[in-house]
Homo-oligomer: A and B are copies of this chain.
Amino acid sequence: MELIEDIKTMQKISRVKARENKSIGFVPTMGYLHQGHLQLVEKAVEENEIVVVSIFVNPTQFGPEEDYDEYPRDLERDLDLLRERNVDYVFYPAVEEVFPEGYATYVQVEKGTDVLCGRSRPNHFRGVTTIVTKLFNMVKPHRAYFGQKDGQQLLIIRRITADLNMDIEVVAGPTVREEGGLAMSSRNKYLSSEEREAALVINRTLRKASKWIEDGERDGWEIKKKMEKEIKNEPLATLDYASVVSRENLQELGEIKGPIMIAIAAYIGSTRLIDNVWLEVD
């Protein structure tokens, strides 16, 4: 396994591998890897001849009041985990090289980015779509792997790859959960044991909502109201949103139908957590 810090070196490696007709699988991460990341990595290793994992905590997707500085980092541990899984290259560029002085270009999706997480995190998805476009140009993968846990992000990345004609297959990996159903996230590290218990309300509520829909409920506003009530009943939780949206355009649904995502974001103590479930509804 090789650690690459220089952007031009990464591009050169990818150019050479493409010329050798080797498929490149790419897993972009912000590091502090958990089972969710590692399952994506294992899938990438299975499906490609060369695997690149990037570790880059992207400042442009954090708001000014958010946890960019405190975001957990542990490069040595991450490298060990990736070496064990036979990753070929870990790409670890410096912030100053990725966003040099005078930087001015942004990739922006103008639909579906001002709802759900985009409402409470105004420039978040602009930061995500910009760094993903940049990383794709640095790594030039054939396939790129993203977790379903960040469901809105996954749908928005599918949108930019289609819209900008990127010749890259976006592969989704299922959300990996701790016992009790809590979605794995690097931010779970912030939780006290009491908060960890309280955080289970998020996934429990999503499972209840799925059940209500399975049982025949088709009124999106009704489901939303009942989910909100569940979250508000948990004293350590503060609701950000609970929504039933179309996976096609991320708009909230009055009548539940088609490919949908049920999504919740809530603060548990001061930690913001998200989770979602995807359903196909007749």
Query: Interface of A with B (CB < 8 Å)?
Result: 7, 11, 15, 18-19, 21, 102-112, 129-130, 133-134, 137-138, 140, 159-160, 163-167, 249
Contacts and interface: CB of A to CB of B under 8 A. Distances in A.
How many copies of this chain are found per oligomer?
2
A26 to B, nearest CB: 14
30 contacts: A7-B165, A11-B165, A15-B18, A18-B18, A18-B19, A19-B19, A19-B21, A102-B111, A102-B249, A103-B163, A104-B109, A104-B111, A104-B112, A104-B159, A105-B108, A105-B109, A105-B129, A105-B163, A106-B110, A107-B107, A107-B108, A107-B164, A133-B164, A134-B163, A134-B164, A137-B164, A137-B165, A137-B166, A137-B167, A140-B167
B134 A165 contact: yes
Contacts of A130: 164
The listed residue with most B CB atoms (<10 A of its CB), out of A19, A134, A160, A165, is A165
A160 B164 CA distance: 14
Given A15-B167, A104-B110, A105-B163, 16 more contacts: A15-B18, A18-B19, A19-B19, A19-B21, A104-B112, A104-B159, A105-B107, A105-B129, A105-B160, A105-B164, A106-B110, A107-B107, A107-B164, A134-B164, A137-B165, A137-B166
Nearest to A8: B167
A11 B55 CA distance: 29
Contact of A105 (B11, B110, B137, B138): B110
A137 B137 CA distance: 10
Q: Which of A112, A134, A163 has its CB near the most chain B CB atoms (within 10 A)? A: A163
A15 B159 CA distance: 22
A167 B109 contact: no
A14 to B, nearest CB: 8
Contacts of A163: 103-105, 134
